[in-house]
Structure 1
Amino acid sequence: MLAQGPTFTRFSTASIFILLCLFFILYYHPMRQATPEGPSTYDPSREGFQPASPRIPEKIWYKVGPKGLSNQSHEWLHDCLHKNPAHRAQIMTDDTGDQYVQENYGDRPDIVDAYLSLTVPILKADFLRYLLLFAEGGIWADLDVSCGDVPIREWIPETLRAKAGLVVGWEFDVGWGENFIRQFESWTIMAAPGSPHLLVVIDDIMDGIRQKTEEYGVPVSELTLDMTGDVIDFTGPRRLTRGGFEELGIGSQ
């Protein structure tokens, strides 16, 4: 079942949105190519539309590094909130991320210890997005992602809004031929809290961390990228892809 999709772009890359529902419904949703010069469909008079999903909070998570927001990222964030006034932004820092994990994962001390001990920024940032969305839900957006023309409340078809639990997109879906690994992108994720798909991803990351610390005989704090291998596999898009398909009981390609 195909339908015209939203525009949520990174580096003007086209993508395909997939809704992964708790009832294991897969819905393929193609996105439009970003066109900065094109007209916006945003209309303040349409703010009365229902949320994209009653299960997904209208909250957008961002994570900044020590340098804070760049001018470009600030413009994208402001534009996204202007076009989606019902949504609010939560900007996390290294310190607030640590605090959040400690406060919300007290029943999983293994997760707290591993997260706080990680010293490689990209691994920690990847891990944080899954932890935030599993605990509270909402939308994760990398700082180099901008909202496009379609309001977030229209991202999910009305017939699926009550069931949608996770929304992700294909990365590298056009222009790459057939000889590449298809995977979900992780720079924009929409999720309901408690998504079983994200729990699988979180537990898989924990397993990966344990395996690498045992393999190299080091504590988590001494893990390096040379030890963990490709970030895409360890905490990034391929990890997300494997976890999503594993929870659905099907194999990833």
Structure 2
Amino acid sequence: MLLFNLKSSRYGRFAALAVPLFVLLCILFFTRDPLPGPLPRQPTPQSTPAAPAPKVVAESPNEGTHKSIPTSRPVSSAPSGDVVGGAISGIADKVWQSAKTTHLTDDQHDWIDSWLAKNPSFRYELLTDASALTFVRTHYAMRPDIIEVYETLPIPILRADLLRYLLVLAEGGVWSDLDVTCDKAVADWVPEEYRDEKIEMIVGLEFDFEWRGEGTPIASQFCNWVFAAPPSSRALQVVVDAVVAKIKEIAAMNRVSIKDLTLEMLPIDVVDVTGPKIMTIAVLESLHQLLGRTVDDRDFHAIKKPKLIGDVLIMPGVAFAAAQNGYPSDQGDALVTHHYAGSWKEADAEAKEKKKQKQNGGA
């Protein structure tokens, strides 16, 4: 027992001295400054060139419903967001066009570029046959009659005419055929005196004729290769209703469904069914409804500058159809140039010839 106590006492004294010494050494070791020397080499970062921003032709009016349409030679588009009350009060800063596919010619790309160059803040959208059908189904769900006519109508030019009215009626903006160039910024189209007026549609004279007397049809004609309107335009709604009714009427007259219509079945020219003539008549009818009086050639024949009648701004012949009106020098500037590259007239002429041969054969 005595031996154990002596050993314990000796070990205790040793531990009392060793433990503090050990702790001191640990502190000195872990807190010492590192020895000078070369730092380890870091790998040099490799610079990666930034990818160019993607360019698109079309921007979807309904995100998630339509996708941007790339083309073989993309055209840059303005920043998203339609500006209502930008260039023209109440009318969206947007240009609409359509094509069968996105495979466009160099000329067509150049014509598109003219709109974007003159109106850099505008959005631009090109719809193909497929995306146009989706657009109509989406925006006109409450008008099944419109969807039925557009879906089943087999004649391309009639569908193309109807589509332009439907696009602008739904979202507003400027419609332009693919073979039209913009010569003057849209912001400069409306004279100062009308800048604060409510404008439901902007149209231009294609044919400018004198009034032919009481009871005669309207002689003049507005072109439909370019026009502009706000969304839900009152005048454009009358145009759409007139076109849909006319197509149904012709189908019933031929005792066929709309899907079985052919160009040869049309009793009148395309311009009278869906084109500029029926658009002209419908726009004037909308003014009759608004003003309670007949509006005809007497109101706008030979105008030298834009004229607001009711809520429709009518442009002189030089504005949208300078060539058709002989390039008049006393009507201000040409706002657009129509290059007449469309092919529908060839199909129309062929259909008329077939109809003539059929009638002669049956005589």
Same fold (TM over 0.5): yes
Secondary structure of residue in 2 paired with 1:186? coil
Structure 2 residue aligned with 1:205? 243
Q: 1:64 aligns with which of 90, 99, 122?
A: 99
Find out whether 1:232 has 2:271 as its counterpart: yes
Structure 2 residue aligned with 1:151? 185
CA distance in 1, matches of 2:273, 2:97: 21
Structure 2 residue aligned with 1:241? 280
1:119 and 1:221 in contact (8 A); partners too: yes
The alpha carbon displacement at 1:177 in A equals 9.4
Query: Quick one: structure 1 residues 207 and 90, their matched pair in 2 at CA, closer, same or farther if it must change by over 3 Å?
Result: same
CA distance in 2, matches of 1:106, 1:213: 23
For the pair shown, the structure with the greater C-alpha radius of gyration is 2
CA distance in 2, matches of 1:169, 1:155: 11
1:52 and 1:152 in contact (8 A); partners too: yes
Q: Partner amino acid for 2:263?
A: L
**Within-5 A mapping of 1:103-252:** 103-148=138-183, 150-162=184-196, 163-173=198-208, 181-228=219-266, 229-249=268-288, 250-252=294-296
CA distance in 1, matches of 2:296, 2:139: 31
The alpha carbon displacement at 1:159 in A equals 3.0
Query: Quick one: structure 1 residues 166 and 210, their matched pair in 2 at CA, closer, same or farther if it must change by over 3 Å?
Result: same
2:172 and 2:230 in contact (8 A); partners too: yes
The alpha carbon displacement at 1:209 in A equals 1.5
2:88 and 2:186 in contact (8 A); partners too: no
The alpha carbon displacement at 1:182 in A equals 1.2
The alpha carbon displacement at 1:68 in A equals 3.0
Query: How many residues are treated as equivalent by the alignment?
Result: 201
For each residue in 1:153-197, what CA deviation from the matched residue of structure 2 results, as whole angstroms up to 9, or x when unmatched?
Answer: 111123323312211100034xx9999931000000111111111
For each residue in 1:29-67, what CA deviation from the matched residue of structure 2 results, as whole angstroms up to 9, or x when unmatched?
Answer: xxxxxxxxxxxxxxxxxxxxx833221001000101247
Q: Partner amino acid for 1:85?
A: P
The alpha carbon displacement at 1:206 in A equals 1.4
TM-score by length of structure 2 reads: 0.53
2:102 and 2:128 in contact (8 A); partners too: no
Q: Which has the higher contact order (CA 8 A, sep 6+)?
A: 1
TM-score by length of structure 1 reads: 0.75
2:210 and 2:219 in contact (8 A); partners too: no
CA distance in 1, matches of 2:185, 2:240: 29
The alpha carbon displacement at 1:251 in A equals 4.3
For each residue in 1:89-109, what CA deviation from the matched residue of structure 2 results, as whole angstroms up to 9, or x when unmatched?
Answer: 100100011000000000000
CA distance in 1, matches of 2:248, 2:111: 37
Secondary structure of residue in 1 paired with 2:225? strand
Structure 2 residue aligned with 1:93? 128
2:93 and 2:173 in contact (8 A); partners too: yes
Q: Partner amino acid for 2:161?
A: D
Secondary structure of residue in 2 paired with 1:51? strand
Q: Which runs of 4+ in 1 moved over 4 A?
A: 176-180
The alpha carbon displacement at 1:110 in A equals 0.6
Structure 1 residue aligned with 2:89? 54
RMSD: 2.0
Which runs of no fewer than 5 residues in structure 2 stay unpaired? Answer: 1-84, 213-217, 289-293, 298-363
The alignment-based identity, stated in percent, is: 38
Secondary structure of residue in 1 paired with 2:179? coil
